[in-house]
């Protein structure tokens, strides 16, 4: 079995995902759409070996922004003051996304430990050694916390004490797979997660026994299902890496429809629209009911992060170079920000809806703040367009 860090595949996908290096040269840094706020460097003086892949990103907690990085561990900032509140160093850094519940912060370290910190002070509450680098975002539900590991295991812990409750272990395929893991979905007495052998599994919430499984990836390439499943009513949406996006029945996993473009990021649901950041270098807006393509936006290079859907915009970034804003109804490009050739984004943006801002950590280790400008009156033709495609 060969593990390939997701970043390596992002680099490979730069060339597979689009036809040109500058296909959106007409897009500019339009300050009527976004304004760039502060930039916080997480690294010291630039070292050529520093530029790698930052997956952790950030999470909002009360009046602070907490972020993880591959070089520093975890840092808590006051974003309005750009002042550090506390830091927690982690050997080999943090490559999982963070999750916060009440006053507890949960994340996986590159050192093989799963951590719970006090989000106010940064003090350690507890940690558990899994002996695997932890790359999935934790899920907290009913006083328990659930994580997936890169070697196809799901763990359940008591969220308050860190007591091990159970784990489900699947046999990892003896082929090249992505060093990533699906964020568990907890619903109705079951925990759902994707596996690197191409299956979506549902295990018992109580003891981790397998309830059902569904094969999603059937190609001979990378079989991974690394995106977290997303629930809407009695339907689950989940893509395989280089296969397809699936709409499945929540109970039993029967297929409702499939769309032939995959991805390693979870989809974003916005009422009747699904935004798919695909591993082929394209962002798709699809009808939730039948996967009809409403629009698609091809990146200049690289593959997209997860999509933020605001009241007006779809916002995402490229693993290679750019941050984009498009009209979420039409897919028309509105804004492009150049972060530097090869220094794009592999972590997902963190959206502060109340503050109308978002935060994004670049692969060069710079944490950016962008503010969303208030939009004026919308073109009535866009309202008619939106109404037309949402009712089909």
d(CA 122, CA 107): 12
* Alpha helical stretches, state H, the chain: 6-16, 380-390
d(CA 20, CA 299): 9
70: alpha, beta or left? (left if phi > 0; alpha if psi -120 to 50): alpha
A 10 A CB-CB count for 63 gives: 10
What is the per-residue pLDDT for 237?
A: 97
Which pair of structure tokens corresponds to residue 255? 């297929």
Taking alpha carbons only, the member of 199, 142, 198, 201 closest to residue 167 is: 201
Which pair of structure tokens corresponds to residue 122? 């940064």
d(CA 75, CA 65): 8
d(CA 125, CA 184): 22
Taking alpha carbons only, the member of 351, 358, 268, 355 closest to residue 304 is: 268
Report CA torsion sign: 357, 361, 362, 366. positive
Q: 221 and 215 in contact (C-beta within 8 Å)?
A: no
User: What letter does residue 14 receive in the DSSP assignment?
Assistant: H
What is the per-residue pLDDT for 6?
A: 55
**Neighbouring residues of 309: CB distance < 8 A, sequence distance ≥ 6:** 268, 270, 273, 275, 315, 328
Would you call 194 exposed, middle or buried from its count of C-beta atoms within 10 A (0-12, 13-18, 19+)? buried
Q: 156 and 208 in contact (C-beta within 8 Å)?
A: yes
- The CA-based angle 263-97-303, given to 5 degrees, is 30
What is the per-residue pLDDT for 18?
A: 41
d(CA 266, CA 124): 30
pTM value is 0.89
What is the per-residue pLDDT for 70?
A: 87
- The CA-based angle 52-58-61, given to 5 degrees, is 160
The tally of CA atoms less than 13 A away on the side-chain side of residue 123 is 4
Task: Show the low-confidence residues of the chain (pLDDT under 50).
Answer: 2, 7-19, 47-51, 377-392
What is the per-residue pLDDT for 171?
A: 82
Q: 9 and 178 in contact (C-beta within 8 Å)?
A: yes
d(CA 204, CA 195): 16
What is the per-residue pLDDT for 61?
A: 97
């Amino acid at each position: 079995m060969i593990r390939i860090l997701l970043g390596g595949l992002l680099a490979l996908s730069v060339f597979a995902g689009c036809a040109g290096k500058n296909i959106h040269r007409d897009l500019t840094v339009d300050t009527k759409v976004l304004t760039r706020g502060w930039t916080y460097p997480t690294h010291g003086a630039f070292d050529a070996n520093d530029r790698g892949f930052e997956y952790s990103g950030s999470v909002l907690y009360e009046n602070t922004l907490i972020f993880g990085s591959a070089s520093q561990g975890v840092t808590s900032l006051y974003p309005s003051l750009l002042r550090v509140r506390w830091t927690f160093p982690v050997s080999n850094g943090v490559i999982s996304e963070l999750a916060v519940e009440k006053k507890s912060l949960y994340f996986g370290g590159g050192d093989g430990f799963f951590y719970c910190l006090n989000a106010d002070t940064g003090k350690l509450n507890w940690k558990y050694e899994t002996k695997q680098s932890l790359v999935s975002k934790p899920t907290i539900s009913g006083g328990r916390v659930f994580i997936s590991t890169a070697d196809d295991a799901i763990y359940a812990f008591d969220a308050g004490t860190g007591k091990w409750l159970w784990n489900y272990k699947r046999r990892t395929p003896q082929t090249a797979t992505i060093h990533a893991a699906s964020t568990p979905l907890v619903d109705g007495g079951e925990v759902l997660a994707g596996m690197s052998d191409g299956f979506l599994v549902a295990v018992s919430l109580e003891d981790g026994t397998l309830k059902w499984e569904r094969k999603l990836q059937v190609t001979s390439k990378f079989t991974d299902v690394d995106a977290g499943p997303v629930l809407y009513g009695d339907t689950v949406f989940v893509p395989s890496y280089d296969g397809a996006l699936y709409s499945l029945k929540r109970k039993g996993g029967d297929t409702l429809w499939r769309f032939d473009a995959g991805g390693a990021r979870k989809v974003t649901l916005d009422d009747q629209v699904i935004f798919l950041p695909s591993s082929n270098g394209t962002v798709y807006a699809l009808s939730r009911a039948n996967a009809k393509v409403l629009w698609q936006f091809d990146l200049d290079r690289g593959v997209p992060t997860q999509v933020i859907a605001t009241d007006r915009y779809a916002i995402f970034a490229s693993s290679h170079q750019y941050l984009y804003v498009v009209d979420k109804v039409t897919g028309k490009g509105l804004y492009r920000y150049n972060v530097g050739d090869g220094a794009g984004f592999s972590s997902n943006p963190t959206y502060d809806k109340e503050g109308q801002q978002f935060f994004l950590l670049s692969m060069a280790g710079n944490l950016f703040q962008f503010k969303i400008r208030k939009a004026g009156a919308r073109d009535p033709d866009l309202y008619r367009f939106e109404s037309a495609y949402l009712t089909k």
